[in-house]
A and B are shown apart, each in its own frame.
Chain A
Amino acid sequence: MVGNPNVGKTSLLNALTGGDFSVGNFPGVTVEKKEGKGLIDGKAVTFVDLPGIYSFEAENLDEKVARDYLEKEKPDLILNVVNALNLERNLYLTLQLTKFCIPMVIALNMIDEAEKERIRIDAKKLSEIIGVPVVKTSAVKGVGIEELKREILRGGSVPKVFSGDLQDIIRMAEKIAREIKVVEELEKPEIDEVLDEVFMDTHLGIPIFLSFMWMMFMFTYSVAQPLNDLLSFCFDTLASYIASFDGWFFSLLGDGVVAGVGSVLSFVPNIAFLFLFLSLLELSGYMPRAVFLVDGFMFRFGLNGRSVIPLIMGFGCNVPAILATRSIEDRKVRIATALINPFMSCSARLPIYVLFAGIFFPRTGSVVIMSMYVIGVLIALISALILRKTLLKGESEFIIELPPYMLPNFKELWLMTWSRTKHFIQKAGTVILAMSVVVWYITTYPGGGIEESYAAMLGKAIQPLFSPMGWSWELVLALISGFVAKEVVVATIGVLNIDIPSVMAPHQAFAYMLFTLLYMPCIATIAVIRAEIGTKWTVFAVLFSFSVAYAMALIATGVGMWL
């Protein structure tokens, strides 16, 4: 299935397979691949949904993946999904598809929307021009699906080849669109235009967008919180029960595996709610408009509009935020956004800020805590600028189409949410399981309590590195334990019974908070960074964040001593 973004390919995939499709990645890249199986007249048909693209110029990863797939896999049939509301842009890709000489069927989708807009399309004429069957469909309403299935079984036909340079193809697409399309005059203004008056208003557009981001934040964390707590409670109870039995195996299973993996799986409600909200924004047609609004600001830092949603989500949790970078088409911008996302202060760090700010800055605690968030944003944007001028050099360009507004279909919303959530569970769980076992081992052995453990030896061994900041080995151990989850930092401080005011001065506490803000949030974050941008960049991310955290903590300590 090939087509522009937002033409309804997923809806059509859903209609053709009855919802039986899975989401994965194309081999070797972090480009989403949807594959589904359907039965048509007793015959099994496999549908592969290629990423939405505008052309085969291969300037971005999606275009390259789609082109490579067609050239190497040589599918039996190309199902070209065309948006009936935007023929010129869609036919540009259709004409390029003819060069592959693979049998093709065109699905002229969203035909119901076109008819509401008084657009009539001569499908028979289009079929004669391109030389392939053309079926009018509405995936959401189920129009034309049976006829499409019949054409798929017939195997389509090899199209007439349209050759020429970029400008020739564009002119041909425009000419064909003019020949086959008739638009009647509308009596009233389009509701899309009316809504755009509000959404894209010069002064209100961005505040409205930020309001929706706040709403997404609240929905993802506050509304999902009971489910999060319920899962945490269940896993904690199970872990404690298993660990209560004697023997290293039960300790490993309870305190290691169940506790560690459970800490990630308890995120699932938050992830699911996030994807639900993002799917709602995408399917409604608002997302491209929001991206367009903030693109100008983000461009100054080498990013584009699509980066802002993952960055804002990072204030809640970096794990789903990094997953959300998947929506960024430009590979280098996607990598940059994933790399800087850990600098956005996630909610797990807040207990640490509250603890130290409450002790050392009782009157100005809220200002100190807010400064952590502001510093995080500044470091993130500056890092993006540096990365985009050095390791990830390149222009930040993207094409965006403003689709019509739609009331999302419930079934499609559910399927989109579930397929992405399932993918998270499968991908993040593998690394978490391994690291949980490692952390359990070093905090349990060789025995005699946590102060005699390998983790404590590690803390004492590493402490000299942090001696310029004047932090004790217990505080360093707390930082190490924070790799599992940031909340564990406060828990470790509690377990070790550290009398904080006696081992730290205010400027050292501020430096500690800064370090907590800037070094890698947790194992789950490392896992999703690896899943999204690869092992090499993950190693870079860990080293980069540690270096920045160390440098900033050192500067804060120095300035504090000087003051």
Chain B
Amino acid sequence: MRWYSVILFIITLTAGLVELFEGLKGETALQLVPSDVLGGLVLLVISAVFFRGVTHEEHDAFLGFGSIMLAIFSVLYILVFLANGLDAWIVGDEWELLNDLRIEMVLLPLAVPGLVLLNRARKTLPP
């Protein structure tokens, strides 16, 4: 599964760099990749976790944990997306749905293989 870690590393690194540089410039160039310095940095951390796992002997742990982080952030951005919609309805503002979509939400399915691997390796975590 090291090849899969490499793929995830490339995807998260690319998305993270684009978000970071767009954030520093203060403008959004791509629809799904917003200008967000901190969000970009987090993606870079996730990409670093995948990268570290490529050469580490505990490769599965890094793939699994990187997938956990990716999944958690994906779910979080989905919640923020829904919260923005709800907030717009409460406050009476117009909600620009497309502006709130971001790439982290779309990457959620890619985290599944790593989560499955971690679940198989689970030994002492209680249900």
A-side residues, CB < 8 A to B, are 112-113, 116-117, 140-141, 188, 190-192, 194-195, 197-199, 201, 203-204, 207-208, 210-211, 214-215, 218-219, 222-226, 229-230, 233, 366, 404-407
Contacts and interface: CB of A to CB of B under 8 A. Distances in A.
Instruction: Specify which of A113, A192, A198 lies most central, judged by the most chain B CB atoms within 10 Å of its CB.
Output: A198
Contacts of B49: 198, 204, 208
A406 B52 CA distance: 24
A405 B125 contact: yes
A233 B126 contact: no
Contact of B79 (A116, A198, A211, A223): A223
A114 to B, nearest CB: 10
A347 to B, nearest CB: 14
A233 B90 contact: yes
Contacts of A190: 123-124
B86 A226 contact: yes
Given A197-B58, A223-B79, A215 B73 contact: yes
Nearest to A409: B126
A214 B77 CA distance: 12
B42 A211 contact: yes
B9 interface: no
A222 B126 contact: no
Contacts of B48: 203-204, 207
28 contacts: A112-B126, A190-B123, A192-B124, A195-B61, A195-B65, A197-B62, A198-B58, A198-B62, A204-B45, A204-B52, A207-B45, A208-B45, A208-B49, A211-B42, A214-B38, A215-B73, A218-B80, A219-B79, A222-B84, A223-B76, A223-B79, A223-B80, A224-B83, A225-B83, A226-B86, A229-B87, A229-B90, A407-B126
A223 B81 CA distance: 9
Interface string B85-97: 0110011000000
Contacts of A405: 124-125
Contact of B126 (A192, A195, A219, A406): A406
Contact of B125 (A141, A208, A214, A406): A406
A229 B89 CA distance: 11
B125 A407 contact: yes
Interface residues of B, number: 34
B112 interface: no
Nearest to B89: A226
Contacts of B116: none
B63 to A, nearest CB: 10
Nearest to B26: A366
A78 B29 CA distance: 65
Nearest to B66: A198
Given A214-B42, A222-B83, A116 B69 contact: no
A211 B69 contact: yes
B45 A226 contact: no
Nearest to B88: A226
Nearest to A207: B45
